Amino acid sequence: MVRYNLLVTFHPNRAGLAEREVRNRVEQAGGAVEDIERSSVNGVFCVKVTGDAKELVAALRSDLREAPELLSQTYHWVPVDTWVESSEKAMMEAVNEIAQGIGENESWMMHVHKRHHPSHSEDLMLLLTDQIQKGRVDLRHPEKIVAVEVLGSMAAISLLERNEIIDANRVRLEAGMVQMA
């Protein structure tokens, strides 16, 4: 998993269509897919793209403002800064390290998606947010997003700006369209 720099979620029954969408959108955004593999969790692709995954997702998100229908098979696009074991200790250390990129006066939020992990989501969220001792929490309009994607025994952790992560349904709603099922 550690070689992948992007996670993309999709409906498990539409893997073929979702993979085509990932390849097409990455190419349209100026990148290339080096490798794509289903993770150990249904509905999640681990993707290795050329170049900077954050820049690629930001370019795609920009395109989506004008044409949100470009994403019809995939839901979330999350660049990955680092992979760690999903032990509480390893995730706490990684969040503490990545939080160094949050400025004293910047706002932030944490987004945690936990799959196939024994911790309760709320407990994990509290444990990890306690590692961040600067900036201020803003759940509506944060300047930075600490993304924690737990996939069984591994966790992908990133520090992202708002334009470097995609929630296709949110983009669709902002454009006045209906959400995907």
- pLDDT tens across 26-72, in order? 999 999 999 999 999 999 999 999 999 999 999 999 998 889 889 99
Residues sharing a CB contact under 8 Å with residue 151, sequence separation 6 or more, in sequence order: 1, 7, 39, 40, 41, 44, 86, 115, 116
Using the predicted structure, report yes or no on whether residue 119 has a pLDDT greater than 90. Answer: no
CB atoms within 10 A of CB 158: 24
Going by their DSSP bridges, the two strands 144-151 and 107-115 should be labelled as parallel
User: Sorting pLDDT into bands at 50, 70 and 90, what band is 172?
Assistant: confident
Using the predicted structure, report yes or no on whether residue 98 has a pLDDT greater than 80. Answer: yes
Q: Please report the domains of the chain, with CATH numbers, ordered by start residue.
A: 6-80+163-174 (3.30.70), 82-160 (3.30.2130.30)
